[in-house]
Amino acid sequence: MNVRILIPSFFSIMVCCCTFSFGQKNNALPKLITTNGCTQLYVNQKPFLVLGGELGNSSASSIAYMQPIWPKLKGMNLNTVLVPVYWELMEPVQGQFDFTLVDDMIQQARKYDLKLVLLWFGTWKNSMSCYAPAWAKLNPEKFERAKDSKGKKVEIFSAFNKNNLDADISAFTALMKHIRVIDGELNTVIMIQVENEIGMLTEAREYTNAANVAFLQKVPDQLINYLKTNRNNLVPEFLKMWEKNGFLTTGTWEEVFGKGLSTDELFQAWHYALYTNAVAAAGKNEYPVPMFVNAALNYKNVQPGEYPSAGPLPHLMDVWQAAAPKIDFLSPDFYNPYFRNYSDLYTRKANPFFIPEIRFEANNAAKAFYTFGHYKGIGFSPFSIESTDAPAEEPIAKAYGLLQQLAPVILQNQPLGKVEAVLLDSLNQKQEIVLGNYKLTLKHDHTLSWSPGAKKPNWPETGGIIIQTAANEFIISGTGIVVTFSTATNNGKTVGILQADEGIYDNGKWIPGRRMNGDQDHQGRHIGISTKEFAIQKVTVYQY
Ligand code: DGJ
CB-ligand 1 contact for 531 (6 Å cutoff) = no
Return the CATH number of 419-543, one of 1.10.1030.10, 1.10.3210.10, 3.90.180.10, 2.60.220.20.
2.60.220.20
CB-ligand 1 contact for 521 (6 Å cutoff) = no
**Nearest atom, ligand 1, residue 356 CA:** 3
CB-ligand 1 contact for 357 (6 Å cutoff) = yes
How confident is the model over 429-433, as a mean pLDDT? 98
CB-ligand 1 contact for 126 (6 Å cutoff) = yes
Atom 6, ligand 1: residue with shortest CA distance: 57
Would you state the pLDDT for residue 19?
Answer: 42
* Whole-number Å distance between alpha carbons of 380 and 403: 11
Beta bridge partners of 10: none
Domain positions in the chain = 4-140+163-204+279-413, 419-543
Tens digits of per-residue pLDDT, 447-481?
A: 999 999 999 989 999 999 999 999 999 999 999 99
Using pLDDT thresholds of 50, 70 and 90, give the confidence band for residue 270: very high
* Whole-number Å distance between alpha carbons of 478 and 403: 9
* Whole-number Å distance between alpha carbons of 239 and 243: 6
CB-ligand 1 contact for 195 (6 Å cutoff) = no
Would you state the pLDDT for residue 5?
Answer: 38
How confident is the model over 70-93, as a mean pLDDT? 98
Using pLDDT thresholds of 50, 70 and 90, give the confidence band for residue 496: very high
* Whole-number Å distance between alpha carbons of 390 and 481: 25
Given a contact cutoff of 8 angstroms between Cβ atoms, the answer to whether 370 and 422 are in contact is yes
CB-ligand 1 contact for 333 (6 Å cutoff) = yes
The rounded mean pLDDT for the chain is 95
Q: How many CB atoms lie within 10 A of CB 234?
A: 20
Would you state the pLDDT for residue 23?
Answer: 44
How confident is the model over 274-280, as a mean pLDDT? 99
Would you state the pLDDT for residue 89?
Answer: 99
How confident is the model over 256-270, as a mean pLDDT? 98
CATH of domain 4-140+163-204+279-413: 3.20.20.80
Tens digits of per-residue pLDDT, 170-186?
A: 999 999 999 999 999 99
Terminal Cα-to-Cα distance of the chain (whole angstroms): 78
Using pLDDT thresholds of 50, 70 and 90, give the confidence band for residue 26: low
Q: DSSP label at 292?
A: E
Tens digits of per-residue pLDDT, 342-396?
A: 999 999 999 999 999 999 999 999 999 999 999 999 999 999 999 999 999 999 9
* Whole-number Å distance between alpha carbons of 381 and 184: 24
In this model, does residue 52 exceed pLDDT 90?
yes
Q: Which of 128, 333, 354, 384 to mutate to test the pocket of ligand 1 (most atoms within 8 A of CB)?
A: 333
CB-ligand 1 contact for 420 (6 Å cutoff) = no
How confident is the model over 211-227, as a mean pLDDT? 98
In this model, does residue 503 exceed pLDDT 50?
yes
Tens digits of per-residue pLDDT, 234-257?
A: 999 999 999 999 999 999 999 999
Distances (CA, A) of 533 to 380, 402, 427, 462, 481: 21, 11, 21, 11, 10
Q: How far is the CA of 447 from the centre of ligand 1 (A)?
A: 36
Tens digits of per-residue pLDDT, 84-107?
A: 999 999 999 999 999 999 999 999
Tens digits of per-residue pLDDT, 116-155?
A: 999 999 999 999 999 999 999 999 999 999 999 999 999 9
In this model, does residue 18 exceed pLDDT 70?
no
* Whole-number Å distance between alpha carbons of 46 and 94: 39
CB-ligand 1 contact for 383 (6 Å cutoff) = yes
| Same fold: 4-140+163-204+279-413 with 419-543 | no
Q: How far is the CA of 126 from the centre of ligand 1 (A)?
A: 7
Atom 8, ligand 1: residue with shortest CA distance: 383
Which residues lie closer than 8 Å to 3 by C-beta, 6 or more apart?
Answer: none
How confident is the model over 48-61, as a mean pLDDT? 98
Predicted model pTM: 0.95
* Whole-number Å distance between alpha carbons of 163 and 41: 34
Q: Which residue from 278, 265, 263, 358 is spatially nearest to 326, judged by alpha carbons?
A: 278
Tens digits of per-residue pLDDT, 390-425?
A: 999 999 999 999 999 999 999 999 999 999 999 999
CB-ligand 1 contact for 264 (6 Å cutoff) = no
